[in-house]
Structures are given as C-alpha cells and as structure tokens.
Amino acid sequence: MSQLAILGGPKTRTEPYPEWPVWDQRDIDAVTEVIKSGRWGGFPYPGPKTAELAKKFVEMQGGGYAVPMANGTVTMEVALRAAGIGWGDEVIVPAYTFQATASAPMAAGAIPVIVDIDLSTYCLDTGEAEKAITSKTKAVIPVHLGSNMADMDAIMALAKKHQLIVIEDCAHAHGAKWRGMGAGTIGHFGSFSFQSSKTLTTGEGGILLCKTPELAAKAASIIDCGRAHALGGGPEDESMEFQVGGNFRLSEIAAALALVGLERFTAQANHREQMAAYMDEALSEIPGVRVLKHDIRHTTRSFYRYIFAITPEEFGVEHDVLCAALYAEGVDCWVGYEAMHNYTLFQPQKSRLAVPNAFPQYFDFKSMNFPEAARACEHEAVWLDEAIFRCGPKGVDDAVAAVKKIQANAQELVNTGI
C-alpha cells in the first residue's frame, strides 16, 4: 500500500486543525451590549466602539491616525482619494496579491500598473517598481504578503525620490513590525482588512492608518457621505464644508468584535511568531524546499499565512500536486493567488468599468510578462494555514512530517500522474 494519503495510505494528521475565528463568551457579551444599547450603526461617525477601536489599533501598531471602515478594499480606495489621486493617475501594484490591491485604484479612477515581485520574499521588487515609474505615477501599494513584509526602506527611498504616496496593503500584516515600526505606520497610509479569514476579524471590516491628522480627516469625510470631520478623523465638524463621499462606515457591532479580538491578538501573534521560526528550521532540512527570506529588519513577524517555496525539479513534483497531497494528509494549505495579470478575479477589461475602457493600453495582459510572479504562482508557492501554527509544535511537526513524506514519495505521484 502507498504511504501517501492521497493514494490511499494513512493520513499524517487525523485530528482537524482548529477553526477560525476563535470566539468565546466575551464576543457574545460585547455584541449583546451593542444590541441592547440601540447604537448598532456607524452614524454619527465615529460611534463609541469605533472610536475606541481606532485608539486601540493605533496603540497596537504604534502610530498613525486610524479611520475604521467597511473593509480592507475601500481602505485603499479612500487612501488614494484622500491623497488627491484619481482619474488617469498611475498606481504601482505587485503582480502577486489579492485582486483588491489592483481594483481599489480603479475604483478611485486610477490605473493599476502591475510590476514583478522579489523571489526571495514574494513582495514587490522595488527595482521593477522604479522601472515602471512615469510622469503619471502618483502612488505605490506594496503588499506585505503572507508571512513577509515588503522592503519598506527601499520603498520609502523610492517614494521620496519620485514623490510618490505609499499605501501599505497590510491585510496580511496586523501586528507586524519593520525595524520596530508597525506595518502601516511607515508609508502615508496603512490598509488593514478585518475580513473573516484575517488574523483580526469582525466578519467584514477594515481600518486605514493615516500618517497625518489632515489625511485622516479627509478619509473620515470620504467614508461618511462627505461630512466634514475634525483633524485625526474625530467627530463631525459642521462648520466645515461637505465633499463628495459615500457610506463606507464600520458598524458598531463589528467594532465591538474587533475590540475583543484585540484582547487576544498579541498572545496569538507571539505564539504564531515562535511557531514560524520553528517551522523555518524544520522545513529547511527537506530537499527541494526553499524557506522564504526572513529579513532581519522584519522585527516582529505577525503573519496571516506561512508561505514557503519548492523547487519542483528537486522536490519531485509541482506545488499544486504537493498541495493536493498535503491536503489529503490532513494539512490545510493552498497554492495561493495567481499572478495578477492571469487572475480570473481581476479581468477588468471584461467589464464596463470606466478605467479599463478609457485606458485599454494598460490592460493588454497577453503582452505582460512577470517571470518571478509566474514562477511563484505557477510552480513554487505553498501557503500553509494559520491554524497549523495555533496548536503548538505538534501542529507544525505534523505539517513538516507530511511535506517530508510527500517529498520522499514524490516519484510515486509522478508515476500515477496526479
């Protein structure tokens, strides 16, 4: 009989990894309190729970002016609009990310310009970003992907040289730090998602960290139907003029859940960080496995998914086969996103959206070539679920044992044509 679960052999891990989100009586009590208060919504903005969340989130990330809002996509659209970036402006985004990083500029009327990634971290390649800069480039959105952070020193130097606005997409980086500075506090803006899979979740939600109180006031106005807000994004200031805005407010129920999530967050993140270091060491012994670079400037490694790479020729199979086999072994994993220009979720030229219709020359994906992103997305990347790191060394040991077993029996997978 085969050793591999996918071929009928015994599973490496029979006990399921724990579910997400984690919750207890505190979440129920917090939501009940909001329900009983009658103050469910985000109007007038900010509600008491939303204001408390803004304060606590800034304390955790260590800087900025926080404006909580509906999700981690509008956060980026609002950031661009607050910075005065719009119609026809170019915004640089990495080829390896969730589609929101590129759809947010389009929602603001700007054009996403896709550039390749650095293979050692899977984050934006600053050299490639510089090559893509034109007189129309106004902003760059580095993504702190999976378990890594983009090189924020290089990105900030580039931004200074070319006067660009930097919006850090921190949907995967709550609690992470770069040279002791919180993710999202280094650029002009930091965009965070509280969507259900994220390490701080309210089901749906997001928060935007702004560098200055002026930017936060603009962002608060844009998400609150254009009402003018005090510096820092505080209460409405009726003496000031309305601008164009929409309703992207966070509900008080969601804010209450985030506040309870924050009580647990630091302990969860510290534990994940320890387990990630343990995982780095264990995986690096397996032939054909490449542990992504952990830059020493990435001082606190709070992450969303742990990503490692394989060299298929040495490992024995491609990443999709490894993931299928790993999943069968009881290890929750994924091959990750497709490269942005191939991504089925990101095909704006098929829509009647204004930006791709007005600027079709930017959306000719067949002529685009991002070799590093293609290599990561089509052959190499393996995304391990956060739950693996939540159940201590045993959770990690099981995942590593499964990868080892698959590598040792890779030829069998090749022979069976899986």
Ligand X SMILES: Cc1ncc(COP(=O)(O)O)c(C=O)c1O
Q: Which residues contribute to the site for ligand X (CB under 6 A)?
A: 71-73, 97-98, 100-101, 143, 169, 171-172, 193, 195, 206
In sequence order, the 6+-apart residues with CB closer than 8 A to the CB of 57 are 66, 68, 192, 207, 209, 258, 262
How many residues are given for the chain?
418
Q: Cβ–Cβ contacts within 10 Å for residue 1, how many?
A: 7
* 346/363 with CB nearer ligand X: 346
* 105/206 with CB nearer ligand X: 206
Query: What is the Cα–Cα distance from 102 to 218, expressed in whole angstroms?
Result: 22
* 200/289 with CB nearer ligand X: 200
* 101/300 with CB nearer ligand X: 101
Give the CA diameter of the chain. 77
Minimum CB–partner distance for residue 405 and ligand X (Å): 30
Per DSSP (E only), the strands in 9-144 are: 65-69, 90-94, 111-115, 117-118, 123-124, 137-140
* 49/174 with CB nearer ligand X: 174
In sequence order, the 6+-apart residues with CB closer than 8 A to the CB of 6 are 324, 325, 328, 329, 413, 418
Q: Look-up: residue for tokens 């159940």? A: 391
Q: Which two tokens stand for residue 207?
A: 């928060």
Minimum CB–partner distance for residue 416 and ligand X (Å): 34
- Compute the C-alpha angle 219/304/277, nearest 5°: 135
Minimum CB–partner distance for residue 14 and ligand X (Å): 30
Beta-sheet pairing, 137-140 with 165-169: parallel
- For residues 234 and 48, the answer to whether their CB atoms sit within 8 Å is no
Q: Look-up: residue for tokens 């490639």? A: 128
Q: Which two tokens stand for residue 101?
A: 């990083």
Which residue has the CB atom at the shortest distance from ligand X? Answer: 72
Tell me, rounded to whole angstroms, the distance of Cα 37 from its chain centroid.
Answer: 33
Minimum CB–partner distance for residue 76 and ligand X (Å): 7
Minimum CB–partner distance for residue 317 and ligand X (Å): 27
Find residue 112's DSSP bridge partners.
91
* 138/172 with CB nearer ligand X: 172
Minimum CB–partner distance for residue 149 and ligand X (Å): 12
* 100/210 with CB nearer ligand X: 100
Q: Look-up: residue for tokens 């990630």? A: 276
Minimum CB–partner distance for residue 71 and ligand X (Å): 4
Minimum CB–partner distance for residue 187 and ligand X (Å): 14
* 71/221 with CB nearer ligand X: 71
Q: Cβ–Cβ contacts within 10 Å for residue 12, how many?
A: 23
Query: What is the Cα–Cα distance from 304 to 200, expressed in whole angstroms?
Result: 10
* 72/105 with CB nearer ligand X: 72
